[in-house]
Amino acid sequence: MIRRLSLSTLFLVLAALTLLSLLDGCSPSVDAAWSRVRATGTLCVGMDASFPPFESIGSDGSPQGLDVDLAREISSRLELEPQFVVNLPYDGLYDALTADRVDIVISALVVNPSRTADYAYSRTYFNGGQVLVARQGNRESASLRDLEGHTVAVVLGTAGDRVGRGWERRASDLSVIQYRTPAEALRAVGDGITDLALVDHVSALAEMGEGTFLTIVDNAVTEVPYACAVRADSSTLLKKVNRALLAMEADGTMDQLIVKWLR
């Protein structure tokens, strides 16, 4: 014969079961990628090594570039050794993550919101969007009102071309001149043919060396965020990578890599 439980005992049993359920629901999920890299001591990094100066193959056959140095620095801060898989096509980087061929992708990868169901992105480490370039000392802001009466060089068929044409339609006295390459657009500024150039951030930084007298004006005009990518279930690994990136920004390491490879 089954003994009947008192109301107080039944309450305690139900409360205990509820607590166990809550604790189970709050328990962290297992991050297989982080468990693997900690067990092996290596971080397997996937990249398409055909996009200098971010990643390419050097004359000695080893990978080189900003993303390569970035991967080495992240690995060092996580007390891991980087292992590179560099023969991946850009459109196959996500597939390599899905198939567990790599733990992380660091390859000038542009954040794609449509991919966030299956993959997770780190904090942005570089913006490859369009920026305004002027001769040093000429301009301090880039509002549409400030651009009135000026000429802007753009690269035909680029996002900068589309933005510049939009400005030209809305401004009464703004002239946009199209060039075939970023180098030609930037040269127009340097030679005084135009007041400004609207080009991609990488091309702009490449001209920021000594003797060019060019400077980037204000903030980026368009956003093309580069970030690292992991599988959506690699939450612990992503947290560690983000902490490393944040520390690199704080201590100047990221700026040093950008100066080394992009200027």
Kindly report, residue by residue over 25-36, the tens digit of the pLDDT: 333 456 899 999
CA atoms in the 13 A half-sphere facing the CB of 176: 22
Residue 152: phi, psi to the nearest 5?
Answer: -125, 125
pLDDT-derived band at 207, boundaries 50, 70, 90: confident
The CA distances from residue 210 to 52, 76, 159, 214, in Å, are 21, 32, 28, 9
Res. 53: pLDDT tops 60: yes
pLDDT-derived band at 23, boundaries 50, 70, 90: very low
Which H helix or E strand runs over 255?
Answer: helix 253-262
Q: Model's pTM, two decimal places?
A: 0.83
Which H helix or E strand runs over 96?
Answer: helix 93-98
Long-range contacts of 54-63 (CB under 8 A, 24+ apart): 54/107, 54/108, 54/261, 55/86, 55/107, 55/108, 57/86
One DSSP character per residue, 23-78 reads HHHHSPPP-HHHHHHHHHSEEEEE-B--BTTTBEE-TTS-EESHHHHHHHHHHHHT
